[in-house]
Amino acid sequence: MSNATADLVEFAHREWPAHPLQLAPIHTETQRLLAPLNLSDDTEQAFVRAVDEAASNVVEHAYAPGPTDDAVTDHVASDDVVELTFWTEDRSVCIEIVDHGRWRPPDATPSSSCSGFAIMIQLMPTVLIHYDSRGTRVLLRGTV
């Protein structure tokens, strides 16, 4: 973030159905929200990839029909959503990804697709995950 935008405070909240076809629009909107901040390419790519992973986790796991069924169905209930809240703080960018599904602990034996949480942790300096009966919140915070 350049000095000219260091004091810029932005806030945005978006919501999409938790469906695989919505992952591309989430990706595009994340890029659009970050673009005015003039982040380094590496920082912007890290945010976008981490949001992609968090949103994919929502689509694949939060609203799945049963504890052993990880298949994503074409049916998405109206309240099965991915929420993205974006804001800036002094020299920081924060993006929170929220679902209202149920928490499923990561498998003890990771799948071939690697753990989305592990990828987020590699990409971002701060990753906070909170889950309870209301759903899961993933906070990504990067210093810029």
Average pLDDT over residues 96-107: 84
- Containing domain of residue 130, as a range? 3-143
User: Could you report the per-residue pLDDT of 47-79, keeping only the tens digit for each?
Assistant: 999 999 999 999 988 887 655 444 545 566 778
Nearest to 50 by CA among 15, 84, 73: 84
Tell me if the pTM is above 0.85.
no
Residue 42's domain is classified under what CATH number? 3.30.565.10
Supply the Cα-derived Rg of the chain in whole angstroms.
Answer: 15
Q: What is the pLDDT of residue 93?
A: 96
Total domains in the chain come to: 1
Could you tell me the strand order of the sheet in which 135-143 lies?
A: 11-17, 81-89, 92-99, 135-143, 126-132
User: Could you report the per-residue pLDDT of 2-26, keeping only the tens digit for each?
Assistant: 554 555 558 999 999 999 999 999 9
CA of 19: how far to CAs of 29, 57, 75, 82, 94, in Å?
A: 16, 11, 8, 9, 24
Q: What is the pLDDT of residue 103?
A: 78
